[in-house]
Chains A and B, each alone.
Chain A
Amino acid sequence: MYNHSGFHFVKKITILGLLILVLFFIPTMNVLAQSGNPPTADDVNAVAKQLYCPVCENIPLDVCPTQACAQWRETIREKLIAGWSEEQIKQYFVDQYGDRVLAEPPRTGLNWLVYILPPVVFLVGVFFVYRNLTKLKRSSPNPENIEEPKTSDPYYSQVEDALKSLVEAEKD
């Protein structure tokens, strides 16, 4: 015999199951859609501003107006679409055009001098300034230890007396 209530129960379970499945996949579908989006101009420029035009003087790739720079930005876009990371793209540009395309010299070989020398020179300078200031402080006399000049000049005594009498006269 046909069980009506049993049929409804199976139907409810099926609908519930479908709902759960739909709810489970909605966020995943969103993520897939996002990751499948082509890179925007901002995405391209975020990488481009870290690179310099190899044929112009000191112009970052994101603001460079030449046709060559437009081609390189297009290359960045292609690499982003292919799923390359920023570091991979930068390395590709270095391999193609040399270190000069980087905004910062790579920390290898003699380039380390650029990073090490300025702080070392600064610290040596600070040391010398400190050393000279300490020396200056030690060599300058302490005002508390300064003795009043002793003089046997009678004129000096006369001036002292005159000043004292003036002060007393003012008090009176």
Chain B
Amino acid sequence: MQNPSSEENTQKRSLPTGVVTIVFAIVLGFLALLAWGLNNAQKGPIQVGKSVPPFTLTSFSGDVYDTAELQGKVIVVNFWASWCKPCEQEAAEMEQAWKEYQPTGEVIFLGVDYVDTETEALAYLDKFNITYPNGPDLRTKISQLFRIRGVPETYIIDKEGKLAGVKIGPYTSIGEIKMMIDPLLD
């Protein structure tokens, strides 16, 4: 049988309720933070038909393109990099498509240069005579928004700002590009 005085001692030595509550709250907070982080990490890419959150691209020439202000136009967002060999396969087709749609004013192409160096990127744009707006993906904010898996990837946003189509990998022909854009035009 336990001595009553030793029971009393044990009770006296236990932590104050306040301390236990604080420690418990800290642990719970940490677990909540961990759950939030995991949830964010496991979020998939934007689904076709869902609204694309607005973003801003500053081109290499310094012009700012805010997609919120481009509503009413079809936006073609192409992720590329100068070190990406498959990107070179579609570079000419993308430029050719841009040249076709530019006069209509209904479509805008935005080239997002993913983790690249400016010198090499400009050399790439020059090599393929690319004239549509291109800019660096600063702090990889745009690629994180779309949760891209690699380059090249192209996302087509309709006039209402909803994702209308996704192309993973390079386009193989201009016909393939037009097939995704034309249905979105009036």
The chain A residues found within 8 Å of chain B, CB to CB, are 54-55, 66-68, 71-72, 74-75, 78, 94-98, 100, 110, 113, 117, 124, 131, 135, 138-139
Contacts and interface: CB of A to CB of B under 8 A. Distances in A.
A150 B139 CA distance: 81
Contacts of A74: 117
B30 interface: yes
Given A67-B83, A71-B83, A97-B115, A124 B139 contact: no
Interface residues of B, number: 20
A110 B33 contact: yes
A119 to B, nearest CB: 14
Nearest to A74: B117
Contacts of A68: 81, 83, 115-116
9 contacts: A55-B115, A68-B83, A68-B116, A72-B117, A94-B139, A96-B138, A97-B115, A98-B139, A110-B33
A139 B33 contact: no
Contacts of A131: 13
Chain B residues touching A, majority SS: helix
A96 B136 contact: yes
B140 A98 contact: yes
B13 A113 contact: no
Contacts of A100: 140
B6 interface: yes
B50 to A, nearest CB: 24
A135 B10 CA distance: 8
A45 to B, nearest CB: 17
A66 B33 CA distance: 35
A71 B6 contact: no
A17 B22 CA distance: 78
A71 B139 contact: no
A124 B23 contact: yes
Contacts of A113: 30, 33
Nearest to B115: A54
Nearest to B143: A98
A71 B117 contact: yes
Interface string B126-149: 000000000010111100000000
Contact of B13 (A54, A66, A135): A135
A75 B117 contact: yes
